[in-house]
């Protein structure tokens, strides 16, 4: 047992972190707040060349052959740096296409030619368990689908890919987070071009872990922002961090970040190893990390005072993304209901 | 990143589980007095005889000298077996013993360590005073030197098991001119020495292990000073660093099984609407699920801490994060239990009896105070983990 990432795993994460730091600094979100997509084509192609989309896909399916552990560390870095763009649905969409044997689709996604947006179902989850649905119907909220060729839908029964162009009544909407793009749309008998059932592979659990990993990154980054501010901001002749009101707020952020990180790493291994309590651990990770990211980000606004309330400062971007992540893949209350219904952890 | 235990470790777990099943006491632990002393010492003696005493102690001092992962396994199984904590033996095994190992003379080690391991003696702690709680360095209990003796006068407080203890790790001020952290000495005090008076302090849960200790010209041989005269602060600090290792794991496992018991209880008991089981109530179900998620992450945090400690010699200040998180969750969990019971919670059941939810609820108020308050833990995290200015 060793829960800590190996030096090799950390190296992958830090390579990706350097790339994001150079190509997608947080300021991009402000600069491109009115652009149709936040991540431009060039950066997207370079992400593909770096192999980010297929990191956790087997080599014989066109990926880099790493595991969920490495992907988890990658998405944690994305959370830390508030990386915009449809990385999560693209990584998972490539996986769905590859596992479903749709090799052309998979290679279009892996090479960066096609992006995948996320479709979140309005209303209750749709597919019967243990069936192979051929079409998609219903109303959907779309995330980062503006420029996407495909949409990924994660249902408890399985994961589906459809073509974005097949949806109707697409209407873009203003988003609380300037780093994402939102739209509403309708699907009527839209053909499903790739389907992977939960029995074949629990992609939804993977998605829960990766989403939680981004929340962890936010919890860590906001802890660091607040701590740094508490060290350098001087009031009454002393750094504000000497005051317990601020010091203890930072300490609580540290505990939340550490708890969320530990649980997400733990859950990643459980899902990767197919442990019996994988769903329990993934739900626990999503629940804890989602909530702690929001709590750390809101505390960060408070620690920064008036500056934290400005658009120019990064605090609100972390808070907004934390809220986006908390509502992805089912509501927090839904995750808790599923968690309490699970058998006890192993 | 892995959660795999080796074949040897899996076998070790089996061995621990079987031994605990066959040897752990089945009787309910007596709540107080000499019967409790006998119970705790008897259980320690059983562990000694079975070769399981001092599992984290080095072999040269008679311990098992287990690896960190074996310790983790031992404490997980210990907690899973539903056994009580090491309670009255705690200070000897986890505090005084490890301090003696690092700071005392060979004679002191040879005399005291085997007695602790064999379950022959109980140690208590004499650190806190009425005016020196979180601010331990403010302690005022004086010891003047007369020939080859220390003569101690003053008062200690919050001393668990002092009425039952044979020995005490005692902090006294030997140099009144020294600054706050200098002039303190760490002394081995025989609790049967004339001039010591122990009074019990009743706690909010009715417990009787808490005491205050008064010293009126208590004569202690000068050779009982450990780590050198006036060096007590550094000795005391080395004591505290032994407090937050793997030993905490058993508490967490106990807390996790408490959450599982509460989920079962919520399925059996009628909920607040008087009709459906409690678990059908959304608020109760969410609080139970949140407790599950948080207890899971507490365990993961412990695993992360142990993993970190496997790569270095000394545990870091992150232990304070585990302690703080644990205290916070434990209080929430027992509050949830209290709420689940509805008006039945008003009937007092001690935490030592089955169904002792009300006793445990009241006891949970101690977890964020004892062993360093949560506020002190936050200071430690702020100063030493985050590097914030003091």
pLDDT greater than 60 at residue B242: no
Beta-bridged to residue A238, according to DSSP, are A235
User: pLDDT value at position B361?
Assistant: 96
Mutate to test the interface with B, among A8, A259, A264, A294 (most CBs of B within 10 A): A259
Q: Kindly give the pairing relationship between strand A135-143 and strand A150-155.
A: unpaired
Which of B193, B174, B196, B187 lies closest to B224 in space, CA to CA?
B187
Facing A9 at nearest CB: one of B1, B3, B321: B1
Q: Where would I find the H helices in chain A?
A: 7-23, 27-31, 41-50, 68-80, 87-99, 103-110, 203-232, 244-272, 278-303, 305-308, 315-326, 332-340
Give chain A positions within 8 Å (CB) of B388.
227, 230-231, 239, 241-242, 247, 250
pLDDT greater than 90 at residue B178: no
Q: Would you call B296 and A230 a contact, using CB atoms and an 8 Å cutoff?
A: no
Give chain A positions within 8 Å (CB) of B306.
1
User: pLDDT value at position B239?
Assistant: 63
**How far is the C-alpha of A116 from the C-alpha of B345, rounded, in Å?**
54
The SS3 of residue A169 is: strand
Report the alpha-carbon angle B375-B378-B382, nearest 5: 145
pLDDT tens for each residue of B214-239: 999 999 999 999 999 999 999 988 76
Residue carrying the six token digits 């470790």: B9
Mutate to test the interface with A, among B283, B297, B308, B323 (most CBs of A within 10 A): B297
A23 near A46, Cβ under 8 Å? yes
A308 alpha carbon, distance to own chain's centre: 24
The SS3 of residue A1 is: coil
**How far is the C-alpha of B139 from the C-alpha of B156, rounded, in Å?**
9
**A192: number of CA atoms within 13 Å, CB side?**
22
Residue carrying the six token digits 């801490």: B305
Q: Would you call A259 and B390 a contact, using CB atoms and an 8 Å cutoff?
A: no
Facing B2 at nearest CB: one of A1, A230, A238: A1
Contacts of A34 (CB under 8 A, 6+ apart): none
Which of B243, B247, B234, B231 lies closest to B317 in space, CA to CA?
B243
| Confidence grade of residue B321 (pLDDT, cut at 50, 70, 90) | very high
- In the numeric block, which tokens belong to residue B188? 């081995």
| Confidence grade of residue B179 (pLDDT, cut at 50, 70, 90) | confident
Residue carrying the six token digits 């937050």: B244
Helix H or strand E encompassing B258: helix B249-268
Size of interface A-B (CB pairs under 8 A): 161
Q: Would you call B288 and A340 a contact, using CB atoms and an 8 Å cutoff?
A: yes
User: pLDDT value at position A123?
Assistant: 83
Q: Would you call A265 and B300 a contact, using CB atoms and an 8 Å cutoff?
A: yes
Which of A59, A341, A86 lies closest to A207 in space, CA to CA?
A86
| Confidence grade of residue B251 (pLDDT, cut at 50, 70, 90) | confident
Give chain A positions within 8 Å (CB) of B1.
2-6, 9, 69, 265, 268-269
Q: Would you call B387 and A345 a contact, using CB atoms and an 8 Å cutoff?
A: no
Q: Domain limits of chain A?
A: 7-197, 203-340
- Chain B nearest-CA residue for A72: B1
Facing A255 at nearest CB: one of B69, B260, B325: B325
CA distances A28 to A40, A85, A178, A317, B352, Å, are: 10, 11, 10, 12, 59
Facing A1 at nearest CB: one of B279, B303, B388: B303
Which position among B107, B197, B243, B353 bears the catalytic label? B243
Report the alpha-carbon angle B123-B124-B127, nearest 5: 140
CA distances B104 to B101, B183, B188, B319, Å, are: 6, 18, 10, 25
B264 and A CB contact within 8 Å: no
Residue predicted with more confidence, B207 or B335: B335
Contacts of A299 (CB under 8 A, 6+ apart): A222, A226, A249, A252, A253
Facing A227 at nearest CB: one of B4, B286, B388: B388
Q: Would you call A251 and B381 a contact, using CB atoms and an 8 Å cutoff?
A: yes
User: pLDDT value at position B316?
Assistant: 82
Q: Where would I find the H helices in chain B?
A: 7-23, 33-49, 68-80, 90, 97-103, 106-117, 232-240, 249-268, 282-310, 319-340, 357-363, 374-380
- Chain B nearest-CA residue for A70: B1
B214 near B162, Cβ under 8 Å? no
Facing B1 at nearest CB: one of A6, A258, A333: A6
Share of chain B above pLDDT 70, in %: 98
The 3-class SS string of A63-95 reads CCCCCHHHHHHHHHHHHHCCCCCCHHHHHHHHH
- In the numeric block, which tokens belong to residue B322? 């585990």
Distance from CA of B317 to the nearest CA of A (A): 12
Q: Kindly give the pairing relationship between strand A150-155 and strand A158-163.
A: antiparallel
A187 near A265, Cβ under 8 Å? no
Facing A2 at nearest CB: one of B1, B256, B377: B1
| Confidence grade of residue B243 (pLDDT, cut at 50, 70, 90) | very low
The alpha-carbon radius of gyration of chain B (Å, integer) is: 22
B378 and A CB contact within 8 Å: yes
Q: Where would I find the H helices in A81-193?
A: 87-99, 103-110
User: pLDDT value at position A268?
Assistant: 98
pLDDT tens for each residue of B270-281: 999 999 999 999
Which of B10, B7, B9, B310 lies closest to A6 in space, CA to CA?
B310
Query: What residues in chain A have per-residue pLDDT under 70?
Result: none
Residue carrying the six token digits 């956790």: A56
pTM attached to this predicted model:
0.96
B10 and A CB contact within 8 Å: no
Beta-bridged to residue A153, according to DSSP, are A119, A160
**B118-144 mean pLDDT:** 95
User: pLDDT value at position B244?
Assistant: 46
| Confidence grade of residue B115 (pLDDT, cut at 50, 70, 90) | very high
Q: Would you call A333 and B390 a contact, using CB atoms and an 8 Å cutoff?
A: no
Give chain B positions within 8 Å (CB) of A340.
263, 279, 285-286, 288-289, 292
B243 catalytic, yes or no? yes
Give chain A positions within 8 Å (CB) of B374.
none
Choose which CATH entry (1.40.20.10, 1.20.140.10, 1.10.1280.10, 1.10.1740.110) describes domain A203-340: 1.20.140.10
B116 near B123, Cβ under 8 Å? yes
Q: Which domains does chain B have, with CATH numbers?
A: 7-117 (1.10.540.10), 123-230 (2.40.110.10), 246-385 (1.20.140.10)
User: pLDDT value at position B245?
Assistant: 61
Which of A313, A318, A314, A317 lies closest to A296 in space, CA to CA?
A318
A105 near A61, Cβ under 8 Å? no
- Chain A nearest-CA residue for B384: A251
Q: Would you call B1 and A283 a contact, using CB atoms and an 8 Å cutoff?
A: no
Q: Which fold has domain A7-197?
A: Butyryl-Coa Dehydrogenase, subunit A; domain 1 (1.10.540)
- In the numeric block, which tokens belong to residue B319? 């232990």
A116 near A150, Cβ under 8 Å? yes
Distance from CA of B207 to the nearest CA of A (A): 31
pLDDT tens for each residue of B20-75: 999 999 888 888 889 999 999 999 999 999 999 998 888 999 998 888 899 999 99
- Predicted complex ipTM exceeds 0.85: yes
């Amino acid at each position: 047992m060793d829960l800590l990432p190996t030096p090799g795993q950390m190296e992958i994460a830090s390579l990706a972190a350097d790339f994001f730091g150079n190509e997608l600094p947080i300021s991009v979100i402000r600069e491109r707040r009115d652009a149709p997509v936040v991540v431009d084509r060039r950066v997207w192609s370079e992400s593909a060349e770096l192999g980010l989309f297929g990191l956790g896909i087997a080599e014989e399916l066109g990926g880099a052959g790493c595991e969920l552990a490495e992907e988890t560390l990658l998405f944690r870095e994305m959370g830390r740096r508030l990386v915009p763009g449809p990385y999560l649905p693209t990584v998972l969409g490539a996986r769905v296409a590859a596992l479903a044997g749709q090799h052309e689709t998979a290679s279009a996604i892996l090479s960066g030619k096609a992006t995948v947006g996320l479709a979140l179902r309005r209303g209750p989850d749709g597919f019967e368990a243990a069936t192979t649905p051929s079409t998609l119907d219903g109303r959907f909220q779309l995330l980062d689908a503006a420029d996407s060729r495909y949409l990924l839908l994660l249902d408890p029964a399985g994961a589906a890919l459809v073509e974005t162009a097949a949806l109707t009544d697409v209407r873009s909407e203003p988003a609380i987070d300037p780093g994402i793009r939102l739209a509403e749309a309708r699907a009527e008998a839209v053909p499903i071009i790739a389907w992977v059932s939960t029995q074949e592979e629990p992609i939804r659990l993977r998605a829960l872990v990766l989403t939680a990993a981004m929340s962890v990154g936010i919890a860590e980054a906001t802890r660091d922002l607040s701590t740094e501010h508490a060290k350098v901001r001087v009031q009454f002749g002393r750094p504000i961090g000497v005051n317990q009101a601020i010091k203890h707020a930072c300490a609580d952020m540290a505990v939340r970040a550490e708890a969320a990180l530990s649980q997400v790493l733990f859950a990643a291994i459980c899902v990767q190893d197919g442990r019996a309590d994988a769903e329990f651990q993934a739900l626990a990770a999503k629940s804890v990390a989602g909530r702690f990211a929001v709590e750390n980000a809101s505390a960060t606004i408070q620690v920064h005072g008036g500056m934290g309330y400005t658009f120019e400062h990064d605090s609100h971007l972390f808070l907004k993304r934390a809220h986006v992540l908390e509502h992805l893949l089912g509501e927090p209350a839904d995750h808790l209901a599923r968690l309490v219904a699970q058998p006890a952890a192993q | 990143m892995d959660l795999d235990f080796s074949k040897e470790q899996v076998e070790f777990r089996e061995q621990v589980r079987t031994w605990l099943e066959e040897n752990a006491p089945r009787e309910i632990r007596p709540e107080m007095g000499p019967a409790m002393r006998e119970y705790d010492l008897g259980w320690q003696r059983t562990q000694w005889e079975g070769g399981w005493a001092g599992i984290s102690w080095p072999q040269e001092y008679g311990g098992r000298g287990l690896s960190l992962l074996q310790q983790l396994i031992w404490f997980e199984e210990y907690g899973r077996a539903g056994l009580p904590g090491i309670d009255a033996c705690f200070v000897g095994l986890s505090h005084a013993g490890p301090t003696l190992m690092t700071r005392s003379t060979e004679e002191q080690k040879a005399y005291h360590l085997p007695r602790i391991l064999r379950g022959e003696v109980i140690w208590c702690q004499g650190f806190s005073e009425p005016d020196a709680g979180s601010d331990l360095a403010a302690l005022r209990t004086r010891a003047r030197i007369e020939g080859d003796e220390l003569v101690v006068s003053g008062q200690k407080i919050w001393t668990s098991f002092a009425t039952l203890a044979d020995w005490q790790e005692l902090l006294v001020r030997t140099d009144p001119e020294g600054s706050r952290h200098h002039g303190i000495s760490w002394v081995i005090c025989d609790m049967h020495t004339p001039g010591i008076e122990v009074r019990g302090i009743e706690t909010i849960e009715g417990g009787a292990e808490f005491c205050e200790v008064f010293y009126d010209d208590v004569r202690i041989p000068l050779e009982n000073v450990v780590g050198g005269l006036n060096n007590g602060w550094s000795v005391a600090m080395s004591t505290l660093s032994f407090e937050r290792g793997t030993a905490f794991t058993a508490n967490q496992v106990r807390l996790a099984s408490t959450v599982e018991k509460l989920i079962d209880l919520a399925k059996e008991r009628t909920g607040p609407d008087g009709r459906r089981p409690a678990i059908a109530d959304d608020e109760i179900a969410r609080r139970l699920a949140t407790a599950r998620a948080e207890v899971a992450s507490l365990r993961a945090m412990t695993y992360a801490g142990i993993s970190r400690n496997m790569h270095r010699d000394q545990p870091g200040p992150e232990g304070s994060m585990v302690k703080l998180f644990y205290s916070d969750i434990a209080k929430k969990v027992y509050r949830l239990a209290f709420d689940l019971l509805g008006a039945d919670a008003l009937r007092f059941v001690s935490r030592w009896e089955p169904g002792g939810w009300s006793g445990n609820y009241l006891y949970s108020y101690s977890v964020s105070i004892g062993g360093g308050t949560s506020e002190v833990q936050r200071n430690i995290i702020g100063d030493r983990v985050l590097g914030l200015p003091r």
